[in-house]
Amino acid sequence: MKVTAVYPGSFDPITNGHIYIAERAAAVFDEVIVSVLVNERKVSAFSVEERCEMARETLGHVKNVTVDSFNGLLVDYVRQKRAGVIVRGLRAMSDFEYEFQMALMNRQLAPEIETFFIVTDPKYSYVSSSSVREIFHFGGTVEDVVPRTVYERLKERYNDE
Ligand code: ADP
């Protein structure tokens, strides 16, 4: 049986930590859909289209990964995609509580969907989209934690302000 996994997130922007998780998920599941959450209530740095483009540009080398976006309930989207699995990444214990709660909530809503956690590489354990944006904004070095194309977009996005 073919197993499709959805890897949802804000990806604002995608970082090497996200890419690491998507690559590892792709080695386990037949298909992985990296799915950008459209959240009208949350102000994002990049538009959904830009976030999808960056994800496509940086995950093009992984054949069984596709990029999509969604709004509404995650479990509805996962069902609509006929996927059986939600993938999330864990960086530290601080991620665990939130992720655990969300996984339990999703199980309550959709018992047939399984949440899988993939542990990050230690070198990305401190990397988050928000820290990348902040460090870049204040002139710090982010080239080690985001792909080149994302770095270029950060320059376009913030140096034009
Ligand atoms: P969300 O707003 O849904 O948390 P993010 O884009 O911040 O979206 O994260 C999506 C998923 O990727 C989450 O499971 C998060 O824990 C995971 N993640 C984020 N950064 C990293 C990283 N550096 N290493 C591993 N997993 C990560």
| Mean per-residue pLDDT pooled into runs of 10, the chain (161 residues) | 96 98 98 94 92 98 98 97 98 92 98 98 95 93 95 88 60
Which pLDDT value is given to residue 160? 64
Which pLDDT value is given to residue 7? 98
Q: Which of 58, 51, 61 is nearest to 133 (CA)?
A: 51
Atom 18 of ligand 1: nearest residue by CA position? 89
SS3 state at 86:
strand
Question: Cβ neighbours of residue 15 under 8 Å, at least 6 residues apart?
Answer: 124, 127, 128, 129, 132, 145, 146, 150
The sheet with strand 114-119 has its strands ordered as 65-70, 31-37, 4-9, 85-90, 114-119
The one catalytic residue among 10, 35, 44, 129: 129
Tell me how far apart the alpha carbons of residues 61 and 12 are, in angstroms, rounded to a whole number: 20
* Probe residue for ligand 1, chosen from 86, 87, 91 as the CB with the greatest number of ligand atoms within 8 Å: 91
Which pLDDT value is given to residue 161? 60
Tell me how far apart the alpha carbons of residues 100 and 67 are, in angstroms, rounded to a whole number: 25
For the question of residue 125 being annotated catalytic, the response is no
Q: Which of 64, 110, 117 is nearest to 87 (CA)?
A: 117
Measured CA to CA in angstroms, residue 16 lies from 53, 77, 120 at distances of 15, 25, 10
For residue 146 and ligand 1, the question of a CB distance below 6 A is answered with: no
Which pLDDT value is given to residue 94? 84
pTM of the model: 0.96
